[in-house]
């Protein structure tokens, strides 16, 4: 069988494996060709030798080069993917750094809102107290009223700006001044005219710093809301320290009858606090500031593992904010996002894929050859067992006998191998030759592969030969 096409086939198979994006078409073509070769070699005994040669060339010149080309392609893709990932990681690092800067700016803005909002609320409170002074001239009273209104408007505008700047996904707790505490906060509010008192029980200390900041911010926000939405109302701040943590309660009553956030002459309904009732009623209304204060307090407390409760006071009037901060509780875990992908893990997986492909490049063709050899060898042994011409029967055959006389000595099948090297068959018109095995023993080194050749012309036996492989 000519194998001149083996070299072009090897080159074509290698290029196909290197350039093809899809694996299935090549696998289907190779599998179909192997199956057809096996079926042809098994079905037609005369095709056993050329079929075996064809299958061997198919594996060596088709499958193996295609696997090598496929391995080459995957290696190149791994290198290219590595460079692309390095560039992507560099871009992601820049984006992460920029996002960190933006979040830090948002936290700074939130702290500005908490601190400046509180200070502006105290300014408005002082202006309100000044406006009610009995010996104040009318122009000065009007100026105090304008200062109070301007401070209130500034608080609202500040809340709007911070609401735009704040990142909703930012879960980092904002921190208060390092040298500020709840006691100092209450003193400043009382000095500004707020009717507030502080009750502390238990031994302070032992709270995590994040929990202390959360307590500071909660009290600050509650006092700011009380000064803004319930002016003139009394406020009580209770801090109870216990072995398991601290409990903070800020309770304010309703504003005095006739007082509201806008002053005595205002007709706008006031509130007891964000989410409390109008003057003297205690009925809930919508917070003027948009309700972000309570949401921010709840988030701060959640992030340190605590709980927050808010609502009307125990007598149905005013407003109460109650917080529990654990002494050793772990911070709440934010909602988990997609697990980060480890570059080292991806590299290991990519190397494993290339290693598996390299192993497949070597093992798949080898395993295919071994399986085909086992199948064809087994079939050859089975065929040879049914194609054995007994030497005693062969001795009874004579040249010149017709086929009918010879046929009764012949086996059912013919031997697929034709060891004719150095002994060509006779030539002539209508000459046909048949081959039969001398022995079916595959490990008989003396006679295994040898065959009897019987040639007929016009149904007459014209030659008898014992061929040695």
Residues 226, 138 share a domain: yes
Q: Is residue 303 part of a domain?
A: yes
pLDDT score at 176: 43
Identify the DSSP state of 390.
Answer: P
Residue 266 has pLDDT above 60, yes or no: no
Residues 292, 205 share a domain: yes
**DSSP symbols for 422-436:** T-PPP--TTEEEEEE
Q: Is residue 331 part of a domain?
A: no
Residues 321, 202 share a domain: yes
Residues 412, 281 share a domain: no
Sheet strands side by side (includes 245-252) = 196-201, 235-242, 245-252, 319-326, 307-311
Q: Are 187 and 127 in contact (CB under 8 A)?
A: no
The residue from 294, 326, 358 where one domain ends is 326
- What are the structure tokens assigned to 418, written together? 């034709």
How large is the average pLDDT for residues 142-161?
75
Domain range for 81? 6-90+347-385
188 pLDDT band, cuts 50/70/90, is: confident
Comparing CA positions, the residue from 306, 297, 311 lying closest to residue 324 is: 306
Q: For 228, phi and psi rounded to 5 degrees? A: -85, -40
Q: Is residue 17 part of a domain?
A: yes
The end-to-end CA distance of the chain, in Å, is 18
Residues 168, 51 share a domain: no
Q: Is residue 338 part of a domain?
A: no
Q: Is residue 336 part of a domain?
A: no
Residues 155, 23 share a domain: no
172 pLDDT band, cuts 50/70/90, is: very low
- Segment 8-36, tens digit of pLDDT: 777 877 887 778 777 787 778 878 887 88
Residues 306, 241 share a domain: yes
Identify the DSSP state of 324.
Answer: E
Residues 279, 136 share a domain: yes
Query: Alpha-carbon distance 146 to 106, whole Å?
Result: 31
**Entry pTM:** 0.38
Comparing CA positions, the residue from 58, 54, 70 lying closest to residue 17 is: 70
Comparing CA positions, the residue from 376, 297, 463 lying closest to residue 55 is: 376
Residues 259, 187 share a domain: yes
CA atoms lying within 13 Å on the CB side of residue 397: 27
- Segment 228-255, tens digit of pLDDT: 888 888 999 999 988 888 999 999 988 7
3-state helix, strand, coil in the chain (%, to 5): 50, 15, 35
The angle at the Cα of 14, spanning 11 to 20, to the nearest 5 degrees, equals 130
| Sequence-distant (≥ 6) Cβ neighbours of residue 37 within 8 angstroms | 51, 54, 55, 58
Identify the DSSP state of 232.
Answer: T
Q: Are 196 and 238 in contact (CB under 8 A)?
A: no
Q: Is residue 246 part of a domain?
A: yes
**For residue 201, what is the domain's CATH number?**
3.30.565.10
Q: Could you identify the residue written with the tokens 């000459």?
A: 431
Residues 66, 108 share a domain: no
Residues 305, 162 share a domain: yes
Range list of H helices, 166-312? 182-191, 209-229, 292-303
- Segment 403-462, tens digit of pLDDT: 989 998 998 888 877 777 778 888 888 899 998 888 877 655 556 678 899 999 988 999
322 pLDDT band, cuts 50/70/90, is: very high
- Segment 206-216, tens digit of pLDDT: 788 778 888 88
pLDDT score at 178: 37
Q: Is residue 337 part of a domain?
A: no
**For residue 419, what is the domain's CATH number?**
3.30.1450
Q: Are 107 and 172 in contact (CB under 8 A)?
A: yes
pLDDT score at 285: 34
Residues 271, 190 share a domain: yes
Q: Are 171 and 212 in contact (CB under 8 A)?
A: no
| Sequence-distant (≥ 6) Cβ neighbours of residue 403 within 8 angstroms | 456, 459, 460, 461
Question: What SS3 class is residue 383?
Answer: helix
Q: Is residue 136 part of a domain?
A: yes
Total domains present in the chain: 3
> Of 78 and 51, which is predicted with more confidence?
78
161 pLDDT band, cuts 50/70/90, is: low
pLDDT score at 185: 87
pLDDT score at 64: 81
């Amino acid at each position: 069988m000519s194998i001149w096409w083996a070299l072009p086939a090897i080159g074509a198979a290698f290029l196909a494996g290197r350039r093809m994006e899809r694996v299935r078409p090549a696998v289907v073509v190779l599998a179909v060709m192997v199956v057809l070769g096996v079926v042809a070699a098994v079905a037609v005994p005369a095709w056993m030798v050329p079929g075996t040669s064809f299958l061997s060339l198919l594996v060596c010149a088709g499958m193996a080069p295609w696997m090598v080309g496929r391995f080459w392609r995957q290696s190149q893709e791994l290198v290219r993917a590595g460079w692309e990932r390095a560039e992507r990681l560099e871009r992601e690092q820049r984006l992460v750094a920029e996002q960190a800067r933006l979040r830090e700016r948002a936290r700074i803005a939130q702290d500005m809102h908490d601190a400046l909002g509180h200070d502006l609320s105290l300014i408005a409170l002082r202006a309100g107290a000044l406006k009610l002074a009995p010996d104040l001239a009318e122009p000065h009273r009007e100026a105090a009223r304008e200062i109070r209104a301007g401070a209130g408007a500034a608080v609202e505008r500040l809340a709007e700006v911070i609401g735009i700047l704040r990142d909703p996904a930012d879960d980092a707790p904002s921190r208060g001044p390092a040298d500020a505490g709840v006691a100092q906060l209450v003193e400043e509010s009382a000095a500004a005219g707020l009717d507030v008192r502080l009750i502390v029980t238990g031994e302070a200390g032992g709270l995590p710093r994040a929990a202390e900041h959360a307590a500071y911010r909660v009290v600050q926000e509650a006092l700011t809301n009380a000064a803004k939405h319930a002016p003139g109302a009394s406020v009580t701040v209770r801090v109870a320290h216990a072995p398991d943590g601290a409990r903070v309660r800020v309770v304010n009553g309703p504003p005095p009858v006739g007082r509201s956030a806008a002053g005595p002459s205002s007709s706008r309904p006031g509130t007891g606090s964000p989410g409390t009732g109008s003057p003297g009623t205690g009925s809930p209304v919508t917070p003027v500031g948009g309700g972000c204060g309570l949401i921010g307090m709840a988030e701060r407390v959640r992030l340190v593992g605590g709980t927050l409760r808010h609502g009307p006071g125990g007598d149905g009037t005013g407003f109460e904010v109650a917080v529990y901060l654990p002494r050793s509780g772990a911070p709440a875990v934010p909602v988990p996002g997609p697990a980060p992908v480890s570059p080292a893990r991806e590299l290991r997986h990519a190397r494993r894929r290339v290693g598996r492909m390299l192993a497949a490049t070597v093992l798949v063709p080898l395993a295919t050859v071994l399986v085909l050899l086992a199948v064809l060898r087994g079939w050859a042994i089975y065929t040879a067992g049914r194609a054995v011409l007994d030497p005693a029967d062969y001795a009874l055959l004579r040249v010149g006998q017709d086929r009918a006389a010879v046929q009764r000595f012949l086996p059912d099948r013919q031997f697929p191998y034709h060891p004719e090297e150095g002994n060509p068959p006779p030539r002539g018109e209508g000459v046909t030759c048949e081959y039969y095995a001398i022995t079916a023993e595959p490990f008989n080194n003396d006679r295994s592969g040898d065959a009897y050749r019987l040639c007929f012309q016009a149904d007459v036996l014209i030659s008898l030969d014992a061929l040695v492989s």
